[in-house]
Chains A and B, each alone.
Chain A
């Protein structure tokens, strides 16, 4: 053990330096959020010379302009519902396509491949007009449903299932299991790692989306946190950097917590995506 640690000391040092560089912007963000306005604009040292909680207090006191907690809730709601929906819809579709020889399979797979290559901007404005015509702007509907059209999940899941042996399913069938039971007891457990991967990709995709939510939301109360922070950055004319960092810290902490919890799943799950 000792010997192996000594041997890997150089690589440990390299990793530590890189880790330091990765954490530096975050550390800077946290420290700046404790600076006064004039110091945050004037000084360039990383540590505040006089610590202040004022930025945090003013973020929480200006909730009518910047309802950060509401934005966080919106984001949590949208990402949770959206992710679950996408994963379920995609599993069902991929299973049907890979195993059940659904009529029109070739055509569906063709669309799936074609859609992978076309950028979101192509459908952005028409989709916006559709939701506008339907009177659904500024609701949760356009913030969730359009993500279900993404074909990445079907693509990943289909590839996984194609290379996954059928033995278990067939054994279950011989034992008299129904289609639903097979799906629930056999397919779901074995597909879990891919589903987690897809979940993470989808979660981050929805979480980070910026252009689409900015089009389909009107009121401050419907904004996602990503969008809300953007409003604070672009401000109208003047943005207080210290206060902005405080809001960024508040916005980032929940995401990091979710991330740390999901981390151990993510690690396991990205394996076996069927990409290989």
Chain B
């Protein structure tokens, strides 16, 4: 049976038995073998664990050093026009430049970048561009690069248009809705005509989505525009070197021709560690130098570690609970909303649940943003007053409503479920019954709230451009025509023509709408500030939201990073070009 090369069962079993016997012998001596392996690996591991430090120490000059930035997610496409993800922006901000940028650590002030002079007058923006700047592909930067960038992002008649299903929502939001035409006839002068007066426009040019791409690269990509994000070419301090998707890493190398400060290190590696606790441990151990998006316990561990420090900065964001007037009738009563604002103990939420890594919110606009009204204090928690207000509104017997919440931490709400339970417990004290509707995924959650299917919901917002319009108009103006709001009513339904679903409370206060729309067209800073202060007062008085918190921007940084060389910014960045390692 076993002749002529055929295999019979006996010989198969013999072979299998032999192999297994060998395995048995190996297994019997396995302890020793594994032990050796472990020890050997362990030794090399110790070396590996501090490899980047080793490199740093061994380097003659700063340019040999490797900076490792640990983050929680690894997107695989680094095209600033294809994403709304902050994780992508962290990387693209190293590779690309914008025409104007947010000054590091300033809380949103603008400064020169690829444009050295800029102004906005009426509906015309004029910019003078920086000369002698080259892209990483060697092409010189000129005004036509910006024109190609804009056209690729927003103009469907452009040969290299990115496509509706590929470009991100920032296309119209940042440039498309506002730019009428771009004049790039002179290499270093750019004239942009707007569709209307729009005060935040220059700030939009500083957003990561408005990063300037290389026209030569756009043309070279031809029909494969979606692939640009796997080999991005910009003018920034670091150039793209390796995208290692299987190991979730990116390697950037220093752009020695960079026009601005730095870079101080030769290589930047973005590595991915999904688990918060593991990521902070990596920074404490010195295997990574900087990390972000930790929960409060992670930040505490970094603070107490002795080998890492915690850098803190006022954030430009807002976490809130929106009350949906379009769906739930009792919320249409202003006194009810104010009663709820008095009953929810935001001080306890911020200090106990968020462990002090956030401050209590008093109005839609966070501090540091133009128009923040310093006269407004957070609603004091007073349950007796809240109870009597409910009685005054005719709801003394209470009512029951749904509070929708996401489950996973977000910067502005690091413990959503605990926060929901706190709200439930606070409102129970004044006779209201809260049914928590918990969503495990954020995508379907947004779907739900955008459709206005919630009674109340938690949401929040990180600024795009540090402009007051980015909170006041974007989140609380329904964007419908003034005529669409019935007289004597301060809400509209979600199916009203033109309604923006970013306004999840259905609030449509015409006085407020007039103010923020006028402020959007006003260029005099003092006048704008007054308008937003008035609008903030209105929002405070009317309470379409319970203003919960402004979260701090926090980074855990290993001691190998030279103090003050890394500046935490609440918008833009991270500014890794200035980071030095010891």
The answer on A and B forming one complex is no
Residue positions of B touching A, CB distance < 8 A: none
